[in-house]
Amino acid sequence: MPAGLEKACHRCISKIASNACFIFGLLAFLVLPLSMTFTGMKFLEDCPVQPLIPLYLLVGGVIGSLKVTLLLYDSTRMRQLLSKSVVIDDDDDDEYPWRQNAHKSGYESASKHFDPADLEVDVAGRSFLITGSNSGIGKAAAKEIARRGGTVHLVCRNKERAEDAKGEIVTETGNQNIFLHIVDISNPKEIWKFAEKFKTEHKLNVLINNAGCMVNNRELTENGLEKNFATNTLGTYVLTTALLPLLEKEADARVITVSSGGMLVQKLNISDLQSGSGTFDGTMVYAQNKRQQVVLTEQWAKTHRSIHFSVMHPGWADTPAVRSSMPDFYQKMKNSLRTEAQGADTVVWLAVSSEAAKLPSGLFFQDRQPVPTHLPLARTHSPPGDEEKLMEMLEELSQKFKSISPGSPQCC
């Protein structure tokens, strides 16, 4: 999880806790005079203060309501300003023990309860497609699946690095059924073209949406799309949508999307999908994209019952992307980061374990366990209508790139 998102979670939970304490205190403050009204204490019957009790309650209720409203407004503003705090203090672990779950130590603790038999499987004959698989979590997942006999399709943007990754996987696993596909996941036109060709040449049992992007300054792709959104959200949507018919032909088909716990600080926002208004904050845009991936998974699970969908948080892993894009975060946290294999463990478990398929479709996972998609009292729930609208907006946008010929106008 990026440093800004980590601090965001801390402040969000701290604010929630303080707000909750005030609200409970306010309720107690109001209950006392109410109890006085209904105790039937006879000595108050002729007391001059009795007529003031209803007024006392009214004023207290109005003031309390205003205070709660201000607190809720402040909480909303707080979430908008979270990204300004990017410093992580290791000493805070004692105050917020939950955050250790994403550390290497959190994985080591959780793994004590893993059943080794879950991954003692032979997946020969099953086909797996993994995006962003030339390094990091994607490559680690590809290795583990290849070791178990699976046919692995590596979908990568950089041909040279993809070829190096393929050679490494083949050498380490002895599995020759490793195939390369050079596709830029931020380019929906390329994705559509690739998917149509792939469907005529291969079968597919498991799709792993791992490719991701976080740029801190607003960039537009050659298609005129904001780069984070194009890669994390639209790219995931187009590839999955295009390959659903192929997946539906196979038994025990699965789709796994690598999201992030950073999405916990974001409520789905469909009013500005490409972050074109206001101040651009790459960390919060990334978190919003990861919230969108959770919504996509939940919506697909409702409409495609023959496929098992899941989305997961890998924890904080030591990957090339972290080292290059967040050097300060890496230097501060490098001794606490998970290995690439530890970050990929739940991806592999969701992709090959029979136990994973027994759980309901559409869940969010960390360390092989389903976990909530919202923090208590965080007000990140969105109306169902917004979630359905997101799917409609992505479908409409994706179709604009489905059959674009050279020279066609760019979108958006």
Tens digits of residue pLDDT in 141-180: 999 999 999 999 999 999 999 999 999 999 999 999 999 9
Condensed to tens digits (0 to 9), the pLDDT of residues 56-90 reads 555 555 555 555 454 444 444 434 433 333 333 33
Residues 117, 64 within the same domain: no
Residues 153, 11 within the same domain: no
Residues 78, 127 within the same domain: no
Residues 115, 53 within the same domain: no
**Whether 375 contacts 396, CB under 8 Å:** no
**Whether 357 contacts 254, CB under 8 Å:** yes
Question: Quick check: is 100 in a domain?
Answer: no
Residues 25, 167 within the same domain: no
Which distant-in-sequence residues (6+ apart) come within 8 Å of 232 by Cβ?
Answer: 212, 213, 286, 289, 290, 292, 293
pTM above 0.85, yes or no: no
Q: Which two tokens stand for residue 150?
A: 């699976």
Question: Quick check: is 94 in a domain?
Answer: no
Residues 136, 73 within the same domain: no
Residues 131, 78 within the same domain: no
DSSP state of 91: G
With CA atoms as reference, report the closest residue to 371 among 6, 102, 93, 95: 102
Q: How many CA atoms lie within 13 A of 99 on its CB side?
A: 26
pLDDT at 108: 86
Domain end marker among 37, 71, 86:
86
Domain that holds residue 13: 3-86
Q: How far apart are CA 110 and CA 97, in angstroms?
A: 14
Question: Quick check: is 412 in a domain?
Answer: no
Q: How confident is the model at residue 233 (pLDDT cuts 50, 70, 90)?
A: very high
Residue 187 backbone phi and psi in degrees, to 5: -115, 100
Beta bridge partners of 253: 307
Domain total of the chain: 2
Rg, the chain, Cα only:
25
330 is a catalytic site residue: no
Residues 237, 343 within the same domain: yes
Residues 39, 130 within the same domain: no
Beta bridge partners of 178: 152
Question: Quick check: is 103 in a domain?
Answer: no
Residue 258 backbone phi and psi in degrees, to 5: -85, 110
User: What CATH number has the domain bearing residue 379?
Assistant: 3.40.50.720
Question: Quick check: is 339 in a domain?
Answer: yes
Amino acid at 88: I
- Catalytic one among 96, 107, 286, 330? 286
**Long-range interactions of 30-37: CB distance < 8 A, separation 24+:** 30/57, 30/60, 30/61, 30/64, 33/57, 33/60
